[in-house]
Chains A and B, each alone.
Chain A
Amino acid sequence: GAGVSQSPRYKVAKRGQDVALRCDPISGHVSLFWYQQALGQGPEFLTYFQNEAQLDKSGLPSDRFFAERPEGSVSTLKIQRTQQEDSAVYLCASGSFRDRDSYEQYFGPGTRLTVT
């Protein structure tokens, strides 16, 4: 079956532009996470959805960052008025119980955002 897909894979934005990054999770996965990975660093948590409910947005770095998942499937991460420090790879992961005791997150390939 298809894995997690993200689009676009690469995005170049001029400083001050708004961007929208899309995540298509694995079909049927209830949980969806966004992470930000700066160059040479590990991924850092941004936000978490369970179905359409955004249960944790404690990792969003500023009010310029906004995420939604209106129908509990596809999610969009929006960054308004992009700044150079927003340059990073944005990773989406969806999660499901593989069996009764085993929960796993599956990662997409990421969107590399470069702000010039």
Chain B
Amino acid sequence: GNSVTQMEGPVTLSEEAFLTINCTYTATGYPSLFWYVQYPGEGLQLLLKATKADDKGSNKGFEATYRKETTSFHLEKGSVQVSDSAVYFCALRTGTASKLTFGTGTRLQVTL
């Protein structure tokens, strides 16, 4: 079956620090990969996605590259801001209009 493993949090960084949140996956077939973000008190929002190997998804300064050889989709940002404090979920989907399989989430806290 499908599964997603992401690094445990919380991750605490100072503003302007470099961020990496690791995500690896196991899937049957060729999944699409996603990062979702959940800000305090808000619903899940799609942050970025990649649908095939070597694709890079990017949004709001965040990036992740679909690495089929290492089954990974690590999230990176060069300089985090306090407003990036949230919970980040890695997820995959096999098939177009089908269910998402999520990791357990990584809480990021950015301090001044």
A8: chain B residues at CB < 8 Å are none
Contact A103 B44 (CB under 8 A): no
- What size tier do the contact residues of chain B reach? 10 to 19
Contact code string B69-112 (vs A, CB < 8 Å = 1, else 0): 00000000000000000000101000011111111110000000
A66: chain B residues at CB < 8 Å are none
Contact A41 B97 (CB under 8 A): no
What's the minimum C-beta distance from A36 to chain B, rounded to whole angstroms? 11
What's the minimum C-beta distance from B43 to chain A, rounded to whole angstroms? 4
B17 at interface by CB-CB < 8 Å: no
Contact A48 B99 (CB under 8 A): yes
Known: A42-B89, A91-B43, A110-B43. A103 touches B96 (CB 8 A): yes
A3: chain B residues at CB < 8 Å are 43
Known: A41-B105, A43-B102, A44-B102. A107 touches B43 (CB 8 A): yes
Known: A41-B105, A42-B105. A108 touches B43 (CB 8 A): yes
A→B interface (CB under 8 Å): 3-4, 30-31, 33, 35, 40-45, 48, 50, 56, 59, 91, 93, 95, 103-105, 107-110
B→A interface (CB under 8 Å): 4, 36, 42-46, 89, 91, 96-105
Q: Jot down 9 A-B pairs with beta carbons below 8 A, ordered by A.
A: A3-B43, A35-B100, A41-B104, A42-B103, A43-B100, A44-B102, A93-B44, A107-B36, A110-B43
